[in-house]
Amino acid sequence: MPLNIEPNIASPDDFYEALLDAHRDLTHDESDALNARLILLLANHVGDIEVLREAVAEARTSGGKPVADSAQRHSTLLKRHP
C-alpha cells in the first residue's frame, strides 16, 4: 500500500484546529515533545515500514531541502538481515 497523498482528512479545518489547540500554552520545548509523541503515535497506527519510509522521504523532499542519503544508512545495512 503506497503512501496516500490524496486528500484523505474528512474535516480538514477541524483537524487543523485540533492540532493548534493541542499546542496552546505550551513552551517551545513542550511543543517539540508533543509533536514527537504525535509522530510516534501516528507512525504506530500506520505500522507499515514501507509507507513510513515513503512518508519520511516525502516530508524531507517536500520541504525544499536537498536530500542526503545518510538518513537510511543503518536501515539499509540492517534490512538485509532484520
Partner 1 sequence: MAVDYQQLVLPYRSPAQCGDTRGTRKPVIVVGAGPVGLTLAIDLARYGTPVLLLDDDDKLSTGSRAICFAKRTLEIWDRLGCGDAITERGVSWKVGKVHVGDRLVYAFDLLPEEGHRRPAFVNLQQYYVEGLLYDHARLQPNLDMRFRHKVVGVEHSASGVRVDVETPDGRYELGADYVVACDGSRSPMREMLGLPTRGQTFRDRFLIADIRMDADLPIERRFWFDPPFHPHGSALMHRQPDSVWRIDFQLGFHADPTAERQPERVNERLRRMLGEDAKFELVWCSVYTFSCMRMDRFREGRVIFAGDAAHGVSPFGARGANSGVQDADNLAWKLHYVVHGDAPERLLDSYASEREQAADENIAHSSRSADFLTPKSEMSRIFRDAVLSLARTHPFARRLVNSGRLSTATTLVNSPLSTPDADPFAGAMVPGAAAADAPVTVDGKPDWLLRHVGGRFVALQFSDGAEAIERPTMPSVASREAEVRLPRIDRLLVATSSSKAPHEPNAIIDSDGLLAARYDARPGTTYLLRPDQHVCARWRRYDASALAAAAARATCNG
Give the C-alpha separation, 27 to 32, whole Å: 9
Interface with partner 1 includes 80 (CB under 8 A)?
yes
Per-residue mark of binding to partner 1, 7-46 (x: CB under 8 A): -------------------------xx--xx-xxx--x--
Judge whether 54 and 43 are in contact, CB under 8 Å: no
C-alpha cell at 64: 525544499
Best CA proximity match to 22, nearest among 51, 42, 2, 45: 42
Stretch binding partner 1 (CB under 8 A), from 5-13, 18-26, 62-70, 74-82: 74-82
Which positions touch partner 1 (CB under 8 A)? 32-33, 36-37, 39-41, 44, 73-74, 77-78, 80-81
